[in-house]
Amino acid sequence: MKPIVLSIAGSDPSAGAGLQADLKAIAANGGYAATVVTAITAQNTREVRRVARLAAELVRDQLDAVFSDLKVAAVKSGMLGSADVVREVVRALRKFRPAHYVCDPVLFAGSGVRLLDRQGLAALRRELLPLATLVTPNVDEAEALSGEKIEDLDQAGRAAESLLADGAQAVLVKGGHLRGAPAADLLVTAASRQVFAADFIDTPHTHGTGCIYASAIATGLARGLSLTRAIEMAKKFVTGAIRHGVAIGGGSGPADPLYAMQQPEDGRPRAEFTRAGGGL
């Protein structure tokens, strides 16, 4: 039976990020995706035009409906939108106690639009991070959460240690364009530091990569992989998704989490699929 992975996030109608990207990534990595919607956005590959945050009570009802009926093996959260919704996620995690929780702290859209207000940021840091198996901030998010300036892996490590002090079990700072270490991510736990590196792919079509990465990690954990192995698998997977990014629209097209499920002309599965760990 496929493990159930719950995505708590906003909706992207262009289907490049948010719940839509999570659904694809979880399915491609062998999980069954359940969803809780936190916000409806009006966005495309160029811009975020509008964000409508759902009432916290409606988010609560969705959480209770899913958890009371489905055996959720892992949870991944993305855009939460408000302090009240952050606290509903905290309540649900404490009540239902899933084995794994991956927090992707979505604070800003790629266009710079703020997606979580300052009260929500404070609630996320004080109340939600202590419940996280893993927190996966990019550099901008790690700076906002920690107050540390990040330009290299050493500074990323100091920022991660600040989040560990807030109670997170592990922090994965996604390097992206870090100086001297492009496409390198740093995992920091109380016991160790580990770098996960990949080829840097120079492409504008990277929309949704953070969502895909965190969802793939959560699915790996739900399948019983260790944290390190889940990140290794997800890093290969998201790199493949970026390599096969989709050039749609007039802006930044999405990475493609379904790339590995497509059949080449000879009818054989793509080799990347097996290496990434999807579908096993």
Single pTM value for the model? 0.93
- HSE-up (13 A, CA, CB side) for residue 131: 27
- Residue 174 annotated to the active site: yes
> What separation in angstroms does the CA of 63 have from each of 53, 171, 196, 252?
16, 25, 33, 32
- Residue 38 annotated to the active site: no
- Per annotation, catalytic residue among 16, 210, 240, 253: 210
- Per annotation, catalytic residue among 45, 136, 211, 278: 211
Closest CA to 135 of 175, 89, 103: 103
50 in Cβ contact with 241 (< 8 Å): no
Structure tokens at 30: 């062998």
Q: Where are the domains of the chain?
A: 4-137+204-276
- Residue 210 annotated to the active site: yes
pLDDT on residue 183: 84
- Per annotation, catalytic residue among 31, 76, 103, 174: 174
pLDDT on residue 18: 96
- Per annotation, catalytic residue among 35, 206, 219, 239: 206
Q: Which CATH number fits domain 4-137+204-276: 3.30.420.130, 3.40.1190.20, 3.30.379.10, 1.10.357.20?
A: 3.40.1190.20
Letter string b/e over residues 138-158, b meaning 16 or more CB atoms within 10 A of that residue's CB: bbebbbbbbebebeebebbbe
- Per annotation, catalytic residue among 18, 31, 120, 208: 208
- Per annotation, catalytic residue among 41, 209, 219, 239: 209
For the stretch 180-230, pLDDT in tens is 777 899 999 999 999 999 988 989 999 999 999 999 999 999 999 999 999
- Residue 211 annotated to the active site: yes
Lowest mean pLDDT among 35-39, 101-105, 134-138, 272-276: 272-276
